[in-house]
Amino acid sequence: MAVTLKDVATLAGVSVKTVSNVVNGYAFVKPENRRRVEEALAATGYRPNVGARNLRRGRTGFLALMVPELSIPYFGELAGLVITAAQRRGWSVLIEQTQGTRTRERATVDSLGPHLVDGALVHPEALEAGDFPDPGMGIPMVLLGEHAVDVELDRVAIDNVQAAHSAVSHLVSLGRRRIAAIGVNPRRGTASLRVAGYTAALTDAGLSVVDSLMEPADKYHRANGAAAMKRLLSLPEPPDAVFCFNDLLAVGALRSVAERGLRVPEDIAIVGFDNTEESAFSLPSLTTISPDKAAIAEAAIDLVNGRIIGTENASPREVQPPFSLEIRESTAGVSSPAGR
Amino acid sequence: MAVTLKDVATLAGVSVKTVSNVVNGYAFVKPENRRRVEEALAATGYRPNVGARNLRRGRTGFLALMVPELSIPYFGELAGLVITAAQRRGWSVLIEQTQGTRTRERATVDSLGPHLVDGALVHPEALEAGDFPDPGMGIPMVLLGEHAVDVELDRVAIDNVQAAHSAVSHLVSLGRRRIAAIGVNPRRGTASLRVAGYTAALTDAGLSVVDSLMEPADKYHRANGAAAMKRLLSLPEPPDAVFCFNDLLAVGALRSVAERGLRVPEDIAIVGFDNTEESAFSLPSLTTISPDKAAIAEAAIDLVNGRIIGTENASPREVQPPFSLEIRESTAGVSSPAGR
DNA sequence: CGCCATTTTTACATCGTTGGAACAACGTTG
DNA sequence: CAACGTTGTTCCAACGATGTAAAAATGGCG
């Protein structure tokens, strides 16, 4: 059924290897034969058997991308970019979902044998240092969006502390004084970094860090943001601004504020994180930290690709793609559009 | 580096095939040997070389999922469910993005050789009947979300006509009389079906179908919805309700309505399509058609799996998973929450 | 024309796994 | 005890591609 090199060879009247040579662009093939082979290739519609080729080459041609859930917009967007970047380098991407649980993340990380994939991009949520297989043992791995875990791997992530700092400083510059945070979670590496940036910015502004304004969130879904915001609004002294650790939390927060009949940003300013497409269209649109997702995807692919191709055993590299603060209605809006 | 069957065999003091038999659960292996082999397996941490196994078996163990873009929430959510469903049957999923262009869809569809993947779930946007490779020739393919193209393949999609009909009927039942549609697009199969349901529902209600109320959309992104809504709002007689062909268009429409200072649903009621997570949290939340996405994913995986495993050559099957109308604030809300 | 150097092609082994057949060990039965 | 069926194991070939090395064709030169 499927066309093999042998079929092409028979048709062209040459050996299998000569066909292989043509396919792989080997220089020394008589023009006459090359022409015949190429015709045969075209006539049969030959396609290399990737499995066999990789068996021989000791590669699989696949990379794994481990994320919590594709249904979370940030990961959907990131995965799309990763797939595109990978394709440019000739890799196919396999996606594994972990729901952000440590158990499943651990299971995934050490099921990534060298046979299934040649390398992996790992976006952990709850993984700890000891959970990783010995680097050097398994396949090349690149850590995404995570700078807190202490393990000898390449990493790609924006400067979370700096980003959080600039988000909160923005709120400070608008004159806000009771600035809350939603998404505090000691088990998440990035959350701790964002908390650090948050408290640093407050301190730098001469504001005090108030425990009751630091709302935890287990999952970073819209519902969690809504619930956290509700709690903040029923404080004796509610906040006048909130920094949410991702856009989904912020979207949830927007809803709770609206349900209370308060206005964004007049009564409460809100900043998100991730600049997902959704944040540009929420009502009001969200001011948010915008990591350069395309740069993240590129860098990550570059790193695994380098580790796989290159035989070099250099020490782990750390790439920090740029980010920016996207200022929109939720902090700078003239008024909540629906509000008047 | 990697452990092979041979290594395990040497350690256990048996032949390679015996180890293979143990690994594959072959019944007749002497308990003593089985024990030895199992110990050796554990000691070496053996993992089968998927490539080699599949080379031998003539399978790759991979399925492809072709979608326009993962960054579109519906596809992100669907892809997540497909991956989960596939995993349960032992398949890994490879995602291909086409940006919804016919060129790339065609390229993808016929690059899906039998070597890379054993089957494919295809969610076309612009593909036409002739673009498909001869069914029977290539790998099993299942068509997703598309009932208009005439080709001999298994299909999974909700009843789009019925769904659109019920969305519009809902608006009619609320007393709306000038009901617009956003997302008309003759090149999209599903769009035509939804138009059919839309016009049928209007006719059934004794309302006339007004051309100027049928807004086209090239892409189904938020920005397109916003633009289309702007045009509708500047009609001499603007609509009092809008049926959007997906949630993103609806979210864009919400924004344009808000920017005009009008209220949803009081001035204009809006219905979306897909029930993406975003739609439950928009302000106001969106009434939307909710296809059972998990059922879609399950059915699709079941179908390819059946085609691949089974040697039967049955005629194409068509599965219609259920859908429901999720009624929320954008049609039934007491008032736009931020509005008061 | 014979020989060597270069270009071009081929045969063969190999990657790790599994199907099939051959083979060995075993207890049972006539 | 020979013949037999059952159970367990091993050997060999094969999946499709490519690296290696050897063989064949070609060309140049003395």
A26 Cβ neighbours under 8 A, 6+ residues apart:
A20
Neighbours of A101 (CB within 10 A): 13
Question: Looking at the predicted structure, is the pLDDT value of residue B1 above 70?
Answer: no
Side-by-side strand order, sheet with A241-244: A214-216, A179-184, A241-244, A269-273, A287-291, A323-326
B39: CATH = 1.10.260.40
Whether B164 and B241 share a structural domain? yes
Q: Which residues contact A135 (CB under 8 A, 6 or more apart)?
A: A141, A151, A152, A153, A316
Across the range B90-105, mean pLDDT stands at 90
Q: Are residues A255 and A188 in the same domain?
A: yes
Task: Tell whether A147 is covered by a domain.
Answer: yes
Question: Do the domain assignments include residue A225?
Answer: yes
- B183 conformational bin, left if phi > 0, alpha if psi -120 to 50, beta if neither: left
Question: Are both B286 and B299 inside the same structural domain?
Answer: no
* pLDDT exceeds 80 at position B148: no
Number of neighbouring beta carbons within 10 Å of residue B134: 8
Q: What is the pTM of this model?
A: 0.88
Across all strands, nucleotide nearest A54 (CA–C1'): D17
Q: What is the pLDDT of residue A1?
A: 59
How much is the mean pLDDT over chain B? 90
- pLDDT tens-digit series, residues B53-95: 888 888 888 899 999 999 999 999 999 999 999 988 888 899 9
Q: B323 and B163 in contact (C-beta within 8 Å)?
A: yes
- Strand D nucleotides in reach of protein CB atoms, 7 A cut-off: 7-12, 14-20
State whether residue B184 is helix, strand or coil.
strand
Is B191 inside any structural domain? yes
Query: B134-138 long-range CB contacts below 8 Å, 24 or more apart?
Result: B135/B316, B136/B313, B138/B110, B138/B112, B138/B113, B138/B114
Handedness of CA B192, B195, B199, B200 (dihedral sign): positive
B258 vs B271: CA distance, rounded Å: 15
- For residue B261, the chain A residues in CB contact (below 8 A) are 337, 340
Q: What is the pLDDT of residue B137?
A: 63
Q: B39 is written with which tokens? A: 């110990």
CB contact under 8 A, B70 and A77: yes
Q: Give the pLDDT score at A311.
A: 56
Name the residue range of residue A64's domain: 60-158+292-322
Instruction: Give kind and range of the element (H or E) at residue A166.
Output: helix A160-173
| B306 secondary structure, DSSP code | H
Residue B203 CA to residue B178 CA, distance in Å, equals 12
Can you state the percent helix, strand and coil of chain B, rounding each to 5?
45, 15, 40
Question: Could you give phi then psi for residue B124, rounded to 5 degrees?
Answer: -80, 160
pLDDT class of A340 with cuts at 50, 70, 90: very low
Cβ < 7 Å from nucleic strand C? A 14-18, 21, 27-30, 32-33, 52, 55-56, 58; B 2, 4-6, 16-17, 20, 23-24, 46-49, 52-53, 55-57
CATH label of the domain that carries residue A229: 3.40.50.2300
> Which residue has its C-alpha nearest to nucleotide C25's C1'?
B30
The reply to whether residue A282 touches residue B283, judged by beta carbons under 8 angstroms, is yes
Residue pointed to by tokens 């262009």: B101
What is residue A339's predicted lDDT score, i.e. its pLDDT?
37
Mean pLDDT of all residues in A321-331? 97
In a domain, B113, yes or no: yes
pLDDT given for residue A89 in this prediction? 84
Q: How far is B98 from chain A (nearest CA, A)?
A: 10
CB contact under 8 A, A261 and B222: no
Percent residues over pLDDT 70 in chain A:
94
Domains of chain A: total: 3
Strand B323-326 to strand B287-291: parallel, antiparallel, or no bridges (unpaired)?
antiparallel
The predicted pLDDT at position A29 comes to 86
The pLDDT of residue B333: 61
Between chains, do A76 and B70 touch, taking CB under 8 Å as contact? Answer: yes
Cα–Cα distance for residue pair B194/B203, rounded to 1 Å: 14
Which chain A residues touch B251 with a CB distance below 8 Å?
Answer: 278, 281
Give tens-digit pLDDT for B200-222.
999 999 999 999 999 999 999 99
Question: B339 pLDDT exceeds 50?
Answer: no
Answer yes or no: do B144 and B171 share one domain: no
- Name the nucleotide nearest A15; use CA and C1': C10
Predicted confidence at residue A99, as pLDDT, reads 92
Residues A151 and A198 in one domain: no
Q: What percent of chain B has pLDDT over 70?
A: 94
Q: What Cα–Cα distance (Å) separates residue B291 from each residue in A119, A233, B296?
A: 36, 35, 8
Do B180 and B153 belong together in one domain?
Answer: no
Is B264 in the same domain as B148? Answer: no
B98 and B245, same structural domain? Answer: no
Residue A144 CB coordination number (10 Å): 22
The verdict on A108 and A44 lying in the same domain is no
Residue B306 domain-assigned (yes or no): yes
> Mutate which of A3, A41, A46, A55 to test chain B, going by most B C-beta atoms within 10 A?
A55
Strand duo B214-216 + B241-244: pairing? unpaired
pLDDT tier, B166 (very low <50, low <70, confident <90, very high otherwise) = very high
Q: Among residues B195, B60, B219, B116, which one has the least CA distance to residue A277?
A: B219
User: Does A69 touch chain B if contact means CB atoms closer than 8 Å?
Assistant: yes
CA-based nearest distance B255→chain A, Å: 7
- How many residues can be counted in chain A? 340
Residues B152 and B195 in one domain: no
The pLDDT, as a whole number, for residue A127 is 84
pLDDT in tens, A123-143: 998 888 788 877 666 789 999
Protein residue closest via CA to C1' of C6 = A28
Residues B262-308 have pLDDT tens digits of 999 999 999 999 999 999 999 999 999 999 999 999 999 999 988 88
Q: Is residue B149 part of a domain?
A: yes
**One-letter amino acid of B319:** V
- Label residue B187 by pLDDT band (50, 70, 90): confident
Of B96-100, B138-142, B243-247, give the range with the top mean pLDDT: B243-247
Name the helix (H) or strand (E) containing A290. Answer: strand A287-291
Selection from A66, A48, A70 nearest residue A139 by Cα: A66
**Residue A338's pLDDT band (cuts 50, 70, 90):** very low
- Band of pLDDT at residue A309, cut at 50, 70 and 90: confident
**Above 70 in pLDDT, residue A3?**
yes
User: Is the pLDDT assigned to residue A257 strictly greater than 90?
Assistant: yes
Q: Are B307 and B119 in contact (CB under 8 A)?
A: yes
Q: How confident is the model at residue A52 (pLDDT cuts 50, 70, 90)?
A: confident
Burial of A226 (0-12, 13-18, 19+ CB in 10 A): buried
CB B108 within 8 A of CB B137: no
Structural domain includes residue A340: no
Has residue B188 been placed in a domain? yes
Which region among A110-114, A308-312, B41-45 has the lowest average model confidence (pLDDT)? A308-312
Which positions in chain B touch A75 (Cβ < 8 Å)?
A: 76
Of A6-15, A183-192, A241-250, A328-337, which one has max mean pLDDT?
Answer: A241-250
Query: Which token pair is B80?
Result: 């997540």
- Shared-domain flag, residues B274 and B179: yes
Same domain, B268 and B170: yes
pLDDT at A184: 97
> Please, which pLDDT band fits residue A167 given cuts at 50, 70 and 90?
very high
Question: Both tokens of residue A101?
Answer: 């649980």
pLDDT range class, residue B340, cuts 50, 70, 90? very low
